[in-house]
Structure 1
Amino acid sequence: MEYKFTIPGRLDGLNDYTAANRTNPRKGGRVKKDNESVVIWCIRQQLPGVHITKPVLIYYHFFEKDMRRDGDNILSCGTKFIQDSLKHTILQEDNRNKIPHFYHDISVDKDNPRIEVIITELTPAQAKMSLRELLKDLETG
C-alpha cells in the first residue's frame, strides 16, 4: 500500500533550527514544535484514519522556491520533523525497524514550493533489503 501527502511551502532548515537553539533552548523547541504542527495538520487532513503497522520506505521530494539553501540544510531538519510527526500520527514508531529506508530528491518550483512525501508499506523481506535492492524489487514488482 502506498500513501502520499503534501506539505505546502517549506520547513525550517538546520541553520534556522541551530540559530534558534543557540538563542535559547526553548526557542529551538518552539521551532521544532511549530514545524511538526504544520506537518501533523497536513497528515491529518490528507490521510485521515490511516495507521501503518508495517515497516515503510519513505520518499521525500522537496520543491524549493530557489537554489539558495544547501541540500543538507533542507534535508536534515525536514526529514527529522516529518518522521517525528509521522510517529505522532500514522506510524507506531520512527525507528529503523519501522523506517528501514528513506530517500529524497530536491527540485526547484518557484511558483509552488512544497514537500511531497510518499510512504510505501514493505513486506518483512523487503525491509531487510538494501535500498538499491528494494528499489529494484518495487520497480519490477
Structure 2
Amino acid sequence: MIPLPLATLNQYISAERTNRFKAAKIKHNATNIAKMFTVKAIREGVTFRWGVPLRFDWYCADKRSDPDNIAFQHKFVFDGMMAAGFLENDNWAHIVELNDRFFIDKKRPRVEVYEIGE
C-alpha cells in the first residue's frame, strides 16, 4: 500500500514544461515515498515472485484524473521498489503483465499492489 497522489501524468508533464528541475523533484519525491512504503512492506514480510502478472488497485480521492493519467504512477512505484531492493529491475523479465483497477476512496487515496497467481 502506497498513499496517493504520487503525481499524475498531467502533473508531471506540466512540471517538465515549466522547469525540468521541478519534474526531477517530483520524480525524486514520488520515488522516495514508494521506497519508504516498500521498505515497510518488506519488514512486514511481503514478498513477490517476479515474472508473474501484477494488479494495481488505485483508490483515488475523486474522478478528476483519467485512469491512464493515474496509472502513469507505475513508474514511481517500480522505481521505489528498486530503490528499496524489493525489485531487481523493472524490465521485461520481471514485469510481464499489469492489471489496473480504479476505485474511489475520498478518505484514504492509495495504490495497492498484488501479484496475481499463475
TM-score (norm 1): 0.74
Residue aligning to 1:10: 5
> Once structures 1 and 2 are overlaid, which stretch shifts more, 79-88 or 37-46?
79-88
- Total equivalences in the alignment: 116
Residue aligning to 2:38: 43
* Structural RMSD (CA): 2.0
Q: Deviations over 1:42-89 (max 9, x none)?
A: 00012137676742322100001111111111112x111111222222
- The residue type paired with residue 108 of structure 1 is I
Cα 1:105/1:16, change in 2 over 3 Å: same
Q: Cα distance, 1:11 vs. partner? A: 1.6
Unaligned stretches of 5+ residues in structure 1? 1-5, 121-134
Q: Cα distance, 1:8 vs. partner? A: 2.0
Q: Is the 8 A contact 2:48 2:115 kept in 1?
A: no
Match of 2:111 among 109, 115, 120: 115
Whether 1:24 aligns to 2:23 is: no
Q: Cα distance, 1:9 vs. partner? A: 3.0
Cα 1:117/1:51, change in 2 over 3 Å: closer
Larger Rg: 1
In 2: Cα distance, 1:29 partner to 1:93 partner: 20
Between structures 1 and 2, the one with greater strand share: 1
Quote the sequence identity (%): 29
TM-score (norm 2): 0.87
Unaligned stretches of 5+ residues in structure 2? none
Tell me, what secondary structure is at the counterpart of 2:98? strand
